[in-house]
Amino acid sequence: MKKVFLLITVILFGLGLASCAEKVDPAEAHLQTAYDSLNAIISDPSNIKASFNVPTTLANDVTAEWSSSNPGIATVGAPSGGFSIITINRPAFGEDNAKVTLTVELSIPSELEEGETLTKEWSIEITIIANEVEEISIETVADILAIDDAAYDGTFQVEIPNMTIIAKGDTTFAYDGTGIIQVYGGLQESLEVGNVYTISGTLEWYFGIWEIKDWTAVEQTSATAQFPTKEVITSVDDKIDELVANGEHQYPAVPDGNFEPIHATVTGKIYMIPGDTSNYNTYLVDTTFDAENPGIPGSDEAPARGFMFYYGTLDLATIRLYEGLEVSIDVVIYTYRSNNKAFAVYYVGGPEGVEANLTDQQKLDLDVAAITVPEAITEATTLELPTEGSNGSAIVWESNSELIDVATGAVTMPEGDAVSVKLTASIQYGTLEPVTKNYYINVGVLPTVTMAGLLEMTQGQLAYAEAEVFWIKSDGKAAILADETGAGYVYFGKDMRSEIEVGDYIGLSFALNIYYGLYQMGNPVLADSNDLVGEDPNLELTAINWTATEAQAFFDDSNWGPLYVTMTLTGYASGDYTNGTLEGFEPFIQTQGATSDLRDVQFTFTGWVIDRRSDKIVVEGSYTIIE
C-alpha cells in the first residue's frame, strides 16, 4: 500500500512540476512585442541629420529608458509625454561622420510575481552625417529668412529658442519676435497654440518659403508668449496688388528671396469655384468681388484675385458653409503657390472664429449644415448630439433604435450584425419653419472585406480590411495595401509616414470611394495594432508582365484596383517630365519620377499602376535602361 501511495505521490509531484513549467508570464510576450517594434523606430539609422523623438512608453505598459554611447553627439533628453528627444549635434563641415550606439532598456512588471520586473535590452548603431555646408550663425527666425544660398535647403540644422505657436492647420506657425516661420510635419499634436518652445530641426525650402522640418520641440514653461500684431485687411484686392507689386509671387528659388508668412484679420467673401470639387476650390475674395469675372484661378501673369485656402486648413468645412457670404476671419497668408497661381492661406480662427452679419434664414441654414454625426460606430461610446447651433438654433433629436439614446448620447453595440440607425434632427431658429434632417449611422462591427472584395462594394459603403503596406506615396497621403486576393488603394488625405511604413500589417475601417474608376478606401481610420484579428501573410508580389493586350484590357475595365506590373517603354519628353509609350497601346504611360536620361531610349519599368484617365495610365516605380 505504501508503494502505491508513493507512486501516486511521485505522479502528482511530476504533474505539478509540469504544470509549473507551463506557466509563462504574459509580460514576457508584451516585452518581446515592444522589443520587436523598436526595429521600425529609426527608419534610416545610417543617415541621421536631425534630432528625433523616441518612445519612452510602449504598448502594454512597457517602459523604455534610452542611453547614448556619445552624449556629445547624440544627447538623450528627459522623458516627456511618452517620448524623449535624441538631440543630434552633427560634426562640423569637413569632419568625418560620427557613429553612436543608442541603447534602450525595456521593462515591464511581472504578471506572475508581484514586485518583480522583467527587462530586455535593445541597441542600434546610428551614423550622424557631418554638416554638408559651412556653419552660419542662425539664432532667430529673421536669420533664417535672410538665407539666400540654396545649399542650406534640406541640409542645415537650426535651433531657435522661445518660439510662440501662434496658429495651426495641418502644420504650425511659430513666432520669436523677429519673424514667422512654418514648422512642418512631425508630432503636430504636441504643439499648443500660445505655448512657447525651443524648436530644433532642418531647414527646407518649399514653394517660396523657408520652413523647419524633422523638428523636435522642448516647451519653455517659464517663457512669456509673444504674438505678432495681426494685420487688418479690409480689401483683398488691394492686398494682392501690394504683394504682386512687391514681387512676393516671384520666389522660384532661394536666391530670389522668400515669402514671410503674414498673420492677419481679413474681411472678404467666401467663394467656391462652381463645379470644382478639388482640394483647392475655396477662396477668400474681395467684398466687391465680381462672380462673372472672378479672375480665379489665376495665371503666371495675373495671380488669382483671392486668397486660396490650403486644404490642410483646420475647420475648412466650416469656412465652406459661408460660401457667398461676407466674413471677417483670422488667417495666415503663408506663401504664393506657383502651381495654383494664388497666394495661399490657412484659416486659424477655430470653429467659432467666423464673424458675419447674417439674416435669420442664413443662421438657420448654417446651423443645419454644421451638424455632423459619424458614419460608423464600432464600439460602445457616447455621442455628443448638439441641442443648440452655434448661431442660436434649437436642435431636437429622435432615434429609431434603442441602440442610440438621444437623451444621453449613449451608444450600445448590437449583439449580432451591424445595424443602420436613423437619427432625425429638427432644427428651428426663431419663428422660421423648422428644418428636419435624417442621419444614418452604422452601429456595430463592420463587415470585413479583402482587397479583391473592394470591387464588389458600392460608393460610400463602409467596411473593414486588414492587409500589408506595399507602397506609400511620396507625400505620405496615400498607400497601396495587398493581401492574398490582390491590392487596394487607400487615400488618407494627410501625411501618414510617421504612422505606417512599407511592410507594416495594418487594419483600417473606411468608406469606399470611386475615383476615375479606381475603387479606393477613403476616410480611413487605422485600427490599433492590438485589434488586428488576421495574421500577417508576409506576401511577396510578382509583377504582371504588361503588353499592349494586358494594358488595353485594364484600360477598358470599368472597375479597377492598383496593379503591380512590369513592361518595356520608350521614353519621350513631355515638357519638364518624361513619359513613356508602350508598343501597340495608344494611351500614353505617365511615369512618375522618371528622369530625363530615359528619353528616346527603351527602359524597363516595374512598379504600381496608381491612376488612370481618358488618355493615360499613371505608374510609379523603378526604371532600368535596356542596353
Class of domain 452-531: mainly beta
Res. 22: pLDDT tops 70? no
Greater confidence, 382 or 459?
382
256: number of CA atoms within 13 Å, CB side?
13
pTM of the model: 0.61
CA–CA separation, 74 vs 87, rounded Å? 6
Per-residue confidence band for 58, with pLDDT thresholds at 50, 70 and 90: confident
Read off the C-alpha cell for 543: 509583377
Given 3-state DSSP classes, what are the helix, strand and coil percentages for the chain, each rounded to the nearest 5? 15, 40, 45
pLDDT tens for 478-508 read: 999 999 999 999 999 888 888 898 999 999 9
Q: Which of 169, 446, 431, 540 is nearest to 319 (CA)?
A: 169
pLDDT value of position 167:
93
* Pair 314, 170: CB distance under 8 Å: yes
Q: Which of 301, 293, 349, 340 is nearest to 322 (CA)?
A: 349
* Pair 369, 321: CB distance under 8 Å: yes
Residue 201 has φ and ψ, to the nearest 5°, of 180, -175
Q: Which of 610, 540, 551 is nearest to 581 (CA)?
A: 551
Within this chain, domains 231-347 and 544-625 share the same CATH topology: yes
pLDDT value of position 6:
37
Backbone CA torsion sign across 74, 79, 84, 88: negative
- Could you tell me whether strands 616-625 and 588-592 are parallel, antiparallel, or unpaired per DSSP bridges? parallel
Strands ordered across the beta sheet of 419-428 = 376-377, 435-443, 419-428, 394-399
Res. 281: pLDDT tops 60? yes
pLDDT value of position 509:
86
pLDDT tens for 124-169 read: 999 988 888 788 889 999 999 999 888 888 888 899 999 999 999 8
How confident is the model over 344-366, as a mean pLDDT?
Answer: 91
* Pair 331, 319: CB distance under 8 Å: no
Topology at the third CATH level for domain 231-347: OB fold (Dihydrolipoamide Acetyltransferase, E2P) (2.40.50)
pLDDT tens for 536-579 read: 888 888 999 999 999 999 999 888 999 999 999 999 998 778 99
Res. 396: pLDDT tops 60? yes
Greater confidence, 353 or 22?
353
Is the omega angle on the peptide bond into residue 55 within 30 degrees of 0, that is, cis?
no
CA–CA separation, 525 vs 198, rounded Å? 32
Other CB atoms within a 10 A radius of the CB of residue 489 amount to 26
CA–CA separation, 210 vs 257, rounded Å? 10
pLDDT value of position 510:
87
The per-residue pLDDT of the chain, averaged, comes to 88
Strand, coil or helix: 210: strand
Residue 77 burial (CB < 10 Å; 0-12/13-18/19+)? middle
Topology at the third CATH level for domain 141-219: OB fold (Dihydrolipoamide Acetyltransferase, E2P) (2.40.50)
| Domain residue limits, the chain | 27-128, 141-219, 231-347, 360-443, 452-531, 544-625
Domain 544-625 in CATH 2.40.50: yes
CA–CA separation, 197 vs 263, rounded Å? 19
In the numeric block, the cell 519628353 is attached to 573
Q: Which residues are paired to 262 by β-bridges?
A: 333
Greater confidence, 333 or 312?
333
pLDDT tens for 171-222 read: 999 999 999 999 998 888 889 999 999 999 999 988 889 999 888 899 999 9
